[in-house]
Amino acid sequence: MKILLTGVAGFIGMHTAQRLLARGDTVLGLDSLVPYYDVQLKKDRLAHIGHPDNFSFLQTDVAENSQLAGIFRTFAPERVIHLAAQPGVRYSLEHPHDYSRHNLTGFLNILEQCRHFSVAHLVFASSSSVYGGNRKLPFSERDPVDHPISLYAATKKANEMMAHSYSHLFGLPASGLRFFTVYGPWGRPDMAIFKFTRAILRGETIDVYNHGRSIRDFTYVDDVVEAIVRVLDKPATPDADFDPGLPLPHTSLAPYRLFNVGHAAPVLLMDFVKAIEVATGCSAKVHYLPAQPGDVDATTADTDALFRWTGYRPQTDIQCGVNHFVSWFREYEAARGG
């Protein structure tokens, strides 16, 4: 199968590309390599993918529609996985226009090309942050998500609505995946596990917000990739049981679906820190701080919809996942002379 994968030099993108290539798909990866964090890490991820015959890479910006049209015309993808985006809740407080360009304009351009070139299925990244001000746990795709508390979350909610409109108007099968706190090897430097592990190994103090009382549904990256691939292989279809009189947000009369992708086993942030201490063999020095604007207190995923659709639920134990990350981190830092 010919698959266009945006954000291929990103954390989830690299792992997804490796999985698709290993099973024999032909993958064209796109990435703009923006310097939101160290570009060398993105280049190292691409080097880790290597140069198999069924993989090619183009450095391009999905916000530039003229470039995309030529790429779609030449490659003619059967399916598209759209992971490219400007991430980060806190970064969005200071750089709002980056989110408009990358997350809104870029996504609209992808939708337009999928429409014009009759792509059989679009799978796109959403986020658990769309649940925003919701307090009912676990978070369910059946619940309304009308109260985002960060611009990042608002752009992801907008992506879901944009995708639905294209599914309705043009019959484009589209599936959105709401990722819950993804972690693992090759993760971003702004992620908690990356910052905590580096500081703990160096004997430095870590900043823990919300006084350590936050709860997160940490989800290992291999589980996320498994969910992406399984959803990709089962294109969205109209829901025969959809009731326009009582419309639920995660299905439709159009070929459109939304799925939570989480471990469904929430972890107190300080227990996550303890898992890193066990993996590193070092004790953490903790500086407790108040919650930051845009952060939610707790996240937990209801993964029933994903299981019913694909027969799969994320399952990697938190200590196992943290051990894998710390092992990779040590090797990567040593290779870079860190």
pLDDT in tens, 56-96: 999 999 998 888 999 999 999 999 999 999 998 888 888 89
- Give the β-pairing of 79-82 and 2-6: parallel
- Specify the pLDDT at position 292: 84
- Specify the pLDDT at position 133: 86
Between CA 1 and CA 24 the distance in angstroms is 8
pTM reported for the whole predicted model: 0.96
Give 287's strand partners. 207
Q: Which domains does the chain have, with CATH numbers?
A: 2-180+220-262+301-315 (3.40.50.720)
Only one residue has tokens 């890479």, namely 57
Residue-wise DSSP of 199-255:
HHHHT-EEEEGGGGT-EE--EEHHHHHHHHHHHHTS-----TT--TTS--TT--SSS
| Spacing of C-alpha 30 from chain mean position | 16
Contacts of 248 (CB under 8 A, 6+ apart): 141, 142, 242
Between CA 273 and CA 279 the distance in angstroms is 10
Q: Annotated catalytic, 152?
A: yes
Give 30's strand partners. 6, 58
152, 183, 220, 256: the catalytic one is: 152
- Ranges under pLDDT 70 in the chain: 338
Reduced DSSP (H G I as helix, E B as strand, rest coil) percent helix, strand, coil of the chain, to 5: 45, 15, 40
Cis status of the peptide bond prior to 138, with omega within 30 of 0: yes
Between CA 74 and CA 7 the distance in angstroms is 19
Only one residue has tokens 């999928």, namely 114
- Specify the pLDDT at position 338: 64
